[in-house]
Amino acid sequence: MKMFKWFQRHQRIANIVMKDHVIRYLELKQTNPLILSRCEERYLPSGIIQEGKIVDEEILATILEECVSDWKIKNRRVRFIVPDPVVVIRSISLPKELEDDEIRSYLFMELGTTIHLPFEEPVFDYTIVERTKEKLVILLFAAPEHIVKSYSELLEEVKLRPIAADISPLCIYRLFHAADQAKKEDHLLLVQVDLSAVNVSAFHQHRPIFMRQLLFEPEFDQWEKKTDAFGSIALEWQGEEEEPLRQLEDVYKEIERVMSFYRFSIQQGNAQISRILLTGDHPYLSQIYAAMRERFDISVDILSENVIASANRKTISPSYHLALGLALKEGTS
């Protein structure tokens, strides 16, 4: 069992997100104010990565090598995202007499014995959620070591130097917080809508409370890549026009169930989700935003457009929000 550094920072670091359907890269010129240096993406053939697990390592390595060459980032330090489908976030009560500097050692001993996860040999990190005379509660972040290692070794194979990993809810929250759209007193629900999944996570007091991933049939082959007049690639649906939005009806219902769970199970009826923050790389994100604003009786917001500037003054696509939040990661040396 190994520790993995979730929380880390440095300048001039490449930030890479690998999903089932795409590889994205982003680099910031500066963080205050936020100025984008560059961002790039490369869509993947279907089946190379499935539900966050690398299926065809050889082809993925070849594609990533081409990206490293095209983007001119060879030998760069790099942060990467641990895929949502393999991440577990769990609230755990620990013996209240444990000192802060004893928690990590305790977790090393107890994971797999008294503290059970749905996989063996995890990499993990944690944050203290509550400490009183009566109790000690932490939030544990864990993922299978072999999967995290497969991404780290792949990056090393293509002549990059992985220095930190992160998880998507923390990255997205970090971005909205930098935009002053996440207040400490809020009970926030972050909703990331991508082509194959929706990640839902709740935050309060600047801390994550839980995360849940909702998978649905991606039908990647029905999305055709089109290049616009500016050279940017966009996805266009080739099937029945309304099918992608119909798929999301079940997602909206599940979000309502998540909100109910948060209110009555986690907060015992004393608090409820007060705002929803929406992002993701789904091509119909603007329609999803309109549908959610109509459906839910609380505020549904997207990232403010004036948060980040770029050298060419182009508006950054929401599909890069995750990489942008990763670029804001602190503590990397």
Higher-scoring residue by pLDDT: 231, 67: 67
226 vs 98: CA distance, rounded Å? 56
Domains and CATH numbers, the chain: 182-302 (3.30.420.40)
pLDDT above 70 covers what percent of the chain?
92
Residues 190 and 15: beta-carbon distance below 8 Å: no
- φ, ψ of residue 180 to 5 degrees: the values are 60, 35
Q: Which of 299, 297, 318, 298 is nearest to 307 (CA)?
A: 318
Q: Which of 124, 136, 139, 141 is nearest to 94 (CA)?
A: 136
Q: What is the pLDDT of residues 141-162, one digit of tens each?
A: 999 999 999 999 999 999 999 9
Mean pLDDT, residues 23-52: 90
Higher-scoring residue by pLDDT: 62, 134: 62
pLDDT at 198 exceeding the cut of 50? yes
pLDDT at 332 exceeding the cut of 80? no
pLDDT at 11: 44
pLDDT at 246 exceeding the cut of 90? no
Q: What is the pLDDT of residues 280-309, one digit of tens each?
A: 999 989 999 999 999 999 999 999 888 887
pLDDT at 74 exceeding the cut of 80? yes
Q: Which of 125, 138, 214 is nearest to 170 (CA)?
A: 125
pLDDT at 239 exceeding the cut of 50? yes
pLDDT at 234 exceeding the cut of 50? yes
Q: How confident is the model at residue 247 (pLDDT cuts 50, 70, 90)?
A: confident
In one-letter notation, the amino acid at residue 202 is A
Q: List, in order, residues 6 or more apart from 115 with CB less than 8 Å away.
A: 92, 107, 140
Q: Which of 169, 182, 175, 165 is nearest to 139 (CA)?
A: 169
pLDDT at 190 exceeding the cut of 70? yes
274 vs 182: CA distance, rounded Å? 11
Question: Of the segments 173-182, 230-239, 247-256, which one has the largest average pLDDT value?
Answer: 173-182
Question: Of the segments 56-65, 89-98, 229-238, which one has the largest average pLDDT value?
Answer: 56-65
Please report the sign of the dihedral spanned by the C-alpha atoms of residue 22, residue 249, residue 87, residue 322: positive
Mean pLDDT of the chain: 89
Higher-scoring residue by pLDDT: 221, 130: 130
Tally the residues of the chain. 333
pLDDT at 10: 47
pLDDT at 277: 97
pLDDT at 314: 65
pLDDT at 223: 81
Give me 285's structure tokens: 């994100």
